[in-house]
Chains A and B, each alone.
Chain A
Amino acid sequence: MNRSLWIFVAAFGGFAAYAFLAAGIAHAQAPDLSRFSVEDRKSGYVFLGEQVRALQDDDFQNPGMFAVDRGQRIWNTVDGEAGKSCATCHGDAAESMAGVSARYPQFDADRGAIINLELRINEQRMTHMMAPPLEYESEDLLALTTYIAGLSRGMPLEVNIEGDAAPFFEKGKDFFFERRGQLDLACNQCHDDLDGMMLRGDKMSQGQINGFPFYRLIWNSVGSTHRMFEWCNTSMRAEPFAYGSEEYLNLELYVAWRGRGLLVETPAVRR
């Protein structure tokens, strides 16, 4: 290619980039965020910059989709002594699992306590597939959870906090308002009172969980609600609780209720 053609290509490339940017800016001026809030409750999406939003919006770019694909494969793969896969009992997940994650966590009579999607998956593996539980936060458990939760995308969170769930809900709520750690902070101090403010480079959101498991760019991976709770706990220099602990399950129930009506975004993408 001769030199003038290169210049033309460069100039045109520049123009294309400009047009693209201008379109982006036009979009930024009036993004329709009505789908991302209910009354005063706002998804973390509302607090994101354009670029991260674009990543979440496009399934071909959303890095969380790798977990979805992996989860779909696992769904159909036989494992354990019973010779079954999830699909053996539940068939096509797109039908049987639609809307399920929007109702989690929930009270479980057998446990006499709260169960979330991760623990439900493991319980099903152990009782019906006779397969060992997947380690919490392992790639496989995250993948299955992300796949199943992704099948509720666009459906409103609606967890049950009545009846047997009520005392656990109250404990989760207390946790949210209790100061802890060397920096002596409570969840509500950052996520009820300061949303929209800058905490160093992070724009504070309301700490909603409608997008979980989500892909967090600073982690370079998908992560569960309990990993996020751990992250926030250690940033206030508090000793975190274990993944799957009763404390975090109760907290998860409270936080899911706090975001009632927000639409499931799994796999969300966050900074």
Chain B
Amino acid sequence: MAQDIGPEVVAYEIIDFAIPAPLTDVPGDVERGWTIVQNAANATCLICHAMPMPWQPDHGNLAPDLAGVGSRYNAAELRLRLVDPKALNPDTIMPAYYQAQGLNRVQEKYVGQTVYSAQDIEDVIAFLLTLTEE
């Protein structure tokens, strides 16, 4: 029986506090990224970050405001911050959105899965790069 065992995790390389190479061959889709980050059912960034989305209620405030994040970082730097934020700050509360191994007591339905797929990561990066205004 075919079973959803989650996405195959793509290998990546961290160089100079960034991940320069995209995880997929398909360029990030801004619209899709915009939708993904607002998905309340899947660890939306709004839990912790404010974002320039006035229509969304109850933005979290325990992490930096993501307004302007597209001018503070390039795609490679954003990729590391989404894929493996603990590479920058081992104590951070920011979850790794692209990590499936080396975790402790993952809930059964998420075992072996990443929060976002490789393409989701690229789409979210494309969207974050549009947030250029502080």
Contact = CB atoms under 8 A, between A and B. Distances in A.
Given A185-B93, A189-B93, A200 B105 contact: no
A198 B47 CA distance: 8
B82 to A, nearest CB: 13
A237 B62 contact: no
A185 B61 CA distance: 17
B57 A201 contact: yes
Contacts of B104: 178-181, 184, 238
A54 interface: no
B113 to A, nearest CB: 7
Nearest to B96: A184
Contacts, number: 70
Size range of the interface on A? 20 to 34
A234 B107 CA distance: 7
- Classify the secondary structure of A's interface with B: loop
A199 interface: yes
A190 interface: yes
Residue with the greatest number of chain A CB neighbours at <10 A, chosen from B59, B61, B105: B105
Given A189-B93, A199-B48, A181 B61 contact: no
Nearest to A240: B107
Interface in A190-208: 190, 193-194, 197-201, 204
Nearest to B44: A200
Nearest to B86: A184
A178 B104 CA distance: 9
B107 A239 contact: yes
Interface string A149-192: 00000000000000000000000000000111111110001100
Nearest to A194: B62
A238 B105 contact: yes
B106 A237 contact: yes
B95 interface: yes
Given A183-B43, A190-B93, A200 B106 contact: no
B23 interface: no
Interface in A34-93: none
Nearest to B40: A200
A200 B46 contact: yes
A184 B103 contact: yes
B131 interface: no
Interface in A97-134: none
Interface in B78-117: 86, 93, 95-96, 99, 103-108, 110, 113, 115
Contacts of A200: 44, 46-47, 58-60
A241 to B, nearest CB: 9
Interface in B18-72: 43-44, 46-48, 57-62
